[in-house]
Amino acid sequence: MKIKILSIIMLFAFTAKAQTTTEKILKDGIKFNLTEDGKNFAKIGLGSQIWARYTEFNQDVPNKYGDSKSSGFDISLRRTFFSLYTKFDRFTIFSMVGVSSQTDTKSTGAYAGNKNAEFFLYDTWASYRLIDEHLTMGMGLNMYSGLSRYSSATSSKALSADVPFVACPDLLTTAQNARHLGLFATGKFGMFDYRISIVKPFRADNVKYNDDDSPKNDIAFDIPADNLGVKGYFTMQLWDKETHEMPFKASTYIGKKKVLNFGIGFDYQPEATITYTSADNSKLNDKLHLAADVFMDLPFKDGSAITFYTGVFKFDYGKNYLLSYGVMDTHSGSIKEPQQGTGFAMNTQIAYLIPSKSAIKLQPYYTFDLKDYDALNDKALHHNMGMNFFMAGHKAKFGLEYQLRPYFADGKNFDSYKGMGIFKMSFSI
């Protein structure tokens, strides 16, 4: 009898300890304190975002075997990452490696025809806090980018299934997964927060040619420019203050923060694109993007919360610049849509956290992008509608989303909408 009682006590003690450990990991992650006060530490992070999706393809786009398919289903690894975040004294060191966009046909960074995942660097940077919270400077491969809030979005705390690409104007050209090599400075003065970076953009070349090998005229293209770029983003934070110790911005705080921010930003690189007026004549264009945005996360006493964001953008890459692509195309062009271009754009997000006494939280949302680019005869409007299921906040969540993607059959004129349904599993510590 005594043995049974002792066994029960040990079982309860073990269960309580396991629950305490789980709660601690969910709160702090895998953290190793370097000093007793916990101000100096090393923290290991890991996470994965897994998609199962049904997609309506663009019309008459064959797969690699020549078969034309109107739709398809796939399971993919949108992102998987491992990170090391270290703070000691005034220093911060952060490094993250991962795999992005692995489908059954390809993985980012892999050689042509190789389906095996290949890890690459998302981030590697170090910073030093010079003047309390007012000035921190650093360098490396980083996401302390200018232009807008979601030019530095964290995908693990995104509202919809993915981050808004419209906020990342260099995503597939002079950036590496929205990161740049460069120097940065960041800090706060009361309610004012800033970040400025000087970057060495990755070299890009997307000049398109006619059948006679002459470059297409009156269209701006990226070239392997050698000039430095400058980016900046400045916010006025009226309610709770967001940290600037890390560059990543959350899309929703799930009712845990009261935030109202107004921001402005810019992204500039001289002589970054080229426009040909004829086969023998061309001119270089400065790339200049401007943005203004507002972000609000407003919790209520009943446990509900409203999340709202809108950002407006003025992009200038040069005359008639247009870049179209899709997320994880299983074969080239199957889900391509206009993404970046010279002209105006807007991204808006709105969500409502349903009050609940349960640990599980539900959050329906709607987001859309409006793109009015010079190279398009019609405006491009992209809709996302979905529901987030938070099991342990952003640490463990599921998402259901339906997208309506604008399809431009000839590249200039809107034809119809193509649908995409996504079931997303996201885990991170």
3 state SS for the chain? CHHHHHHHHHHHHHHHHHHHHHHHHHHHCEEEECCCCCCCEEEEEEEEEEEEEEEECCCCCECCCCCECCEEEEEEEEEEEEEEEEEECCEEEEEEEEEEEECCCCCCCCCCCCCCCCCEEEEEEEEEEEECCCEEEEEEEECCCCCCHHHHECHHHCCCCCCCHHHCCCCCCCCECCEEEEEEEEEEECCEEEEEEEEECCCCCCCCECCCCCECECCEEECCCCCCEEEEEEEEECCCCCCCCCCCECCCCCCCCCEEEEEEEEEEEEEEEEEECCCCCEEEEEEEEEEEEEEEEEECCCCCEEEEEEEEEEEECCCCCEEEECCCCCCCCCCCEEEEECEEEEEEEEEEEECCCCCCEEEEEEEEEEEEECCCCCCEEEEEEEEEEECECECEEEEEEEEEEEEECCCCCEEEEEEEEEEEEEEEC
Residue 25, pLDDT above cutoff 80? no
Residue 298, pLDDT above cutoff 90? yes
Give the residue, 17 or 143, on which the prediction is more confident. 143
| pLDDT for the residue 199 | 97
Q: Which band of pLDDT confidence, cut at 50, 70 and 90, is reported for residue 112? A: very low
| pLDDT for the residue 280 | 82
Work out the percent of the chain whose per-residue pLDDT is above 70: 89
| pLDDT for the residue 111 | 43
* 148-190 pLDDT, tens digit each: 999 999 999 999 999 999 999 999 999 999 999 999 999 999 9
Give the residue, 109 or 185, on which the prediction is more confident. 185
Q: Which band of pLDDT confidence, cut at 50, 70 and 90, is reported for residue 309? A: very high
* 194-253 pLDDT, tens digit each: 999 999 999 999 898 988 888 999 999 999 998 999 999 999 999 999 988 899 999 999
CATH number of 34-428: 2.40.160.10
The pTM score is: 0.90
* 38-67 pLDDT, tens digit each: 889 999 999 999 999 999 999 876 766 667
Q: Which band of pLDDT confidence, cut at 50, 70 and 90, is reported for residue 329? A: confident
Residue 22, pLDDT above cutoff 70? no
Residue 355, pLDDT above cutoff 90? yes
| pLDDT for the residue 110 | 42
Residue 4, pLDDT above cutoff 60? no
Q: Which band of pLDDT confidence, cut at 50, 70 and 90, is reported for residue 10? A: low
| pLDDT for the residue 3 | 58
Residue 130, pLDDT above cutoff 50? yes
| pLDDT for the residue 218 | 94
Cα radius of gyration (the chain) = 23
Instruction: Over range 395-404, report the average pLDDT.
Output: 97
The chain-wide mean pLDDT, for the chain, equals 90
